[in-house]
Amino acid sequence: MEDREISRAVIGRLPRYYRYLGELLDAGVERISSNDLSKKMHVTASQIRQDLNNFGGFGQQGYGYNVKYLYTEIGKILGLNRPHNMIIIGAGNLGQALANYASFEKNGFILKGLFDVNSRLEGVAIRGVPIRMMDELKDFVSQSDIEIAALTIPKSKAIEVAEMLIENGIRAIWNFAHTDLNLPEDIIVENVHLSDSLMRLSYTISRYQEDHGK
C-alpha cells in the first residue's frame, strides 16, 4: 500500500466494515459483492469500492470480496493483528462498564489495570483485574508495556492525569472526561463525548416531530 494520507472519513468507516464483515463471517458467508455489502451498511457500493481502493482494493471483478480475507486485511489496517495493552483511569460506573466489555479483548485490547482514588474500591476485581489506587499509577505505567489509557474521570483532573501519563510513556489516550484534551501533537487522543451523541439524537427527534406535526 502506498504511504499516503487517508482521510479521517475513510478511517472512520473502517471499524464498521470490520464489524459487518465479522458478522458475515460468523454467519458462514464466504464472499460478498460491494452491492450486497452496501445494502447491509447503508453506504453506496461506489463508496465502499473507493474506500477499499485506498488500501489496495481487495475485490475481484465478477467475484466480489472474500469475506475472511477482507476481514483479516482490514483488521491489519486497524492494527488489530497484535495486542494493545490498556488501562482505565477512573473505576466508577463508566470505568467499570468499559472494563466489563469483553469484546475489547476479542479485538486485542487487553485490560491490564484499573485505577481510582476511592479507597473503598481498592482490591475489587473487574473480570480478574484488581482496582488499584492512583498513587500506584506512575510506577505501574513505567514498569508495564501500556499503550492506551482510557480516562473516565472528572474533567478537572483530566489534564493533570493525562500529562502524568505522557511523562511516563503513554502515547494514546481514550478520553471520556467531559473536556477536549489539547496535548502535544505526537500524542494520539480520541475524545468521546457521550452527551454529544444524545444531543444529536435529540436534534433528530425534534426535526422528525416538526416534520410530522407532532
Contact (Cβ atoms closer than 8 angstroms) between residue 56 and residue 1: yes
Q: What tens digit of pLDDT does each residue of 143-200 get?
A: 899 999 999 999 999 999 999 999 999 999 999 998 888 899 999 999 998 888 899 9
Q: For residue 100, how many other CB atoms are within 10 A of its CB?
A: 11
Would you state the pLDDT for residue 2? Answer: 46
Q: How far apart are CA 122 and CA 120, in angstroms?
A: 6
Flag whether pLDDT at 67 surpasses 80: yes
pLDDT confidence tier of residue 214, bands split at 50, 70 and 90 = low
Would you state the pLDDT for residue 4? Answer: 55
pLDDT confidence tier of residue 208, bands split at 50, 70 and 90 = confident
For the chain, the first-to-last Cα distance in angstroms comes to 51
2 Cβ contact list (under 8 Å, min separation 6): none
Would you state the pLDDT for residue 6? Answer: 82
Q: For residue 203, how many other CB atoms are within 10 A of its CB?
A: 10
Q: What tens digit of pLDDT does each residue of 27-44 get?
A: 999 999 999 999 988 889
Q: What tens digit of pLDDT does each residue of 83-133 get?
A: 999 999 999 999 999 999 978 888 999 999 999 999 999 999 999 999 999
Contact (Cβ atoms closer than 8 angstroms) between residue 199 and residue 207: no
Would you state the pLDDT for residue 106? Answer: 87
Would you state the pLDDT for residue 1? Answer: 44
Would you state the pLDDT for residue 102? Answer: 79
Would you state the pLDDT for residue 145? Answer: 92
Contact (Cβ atoms closer than 8 angstroms) between residue 152 and residue 177: yes
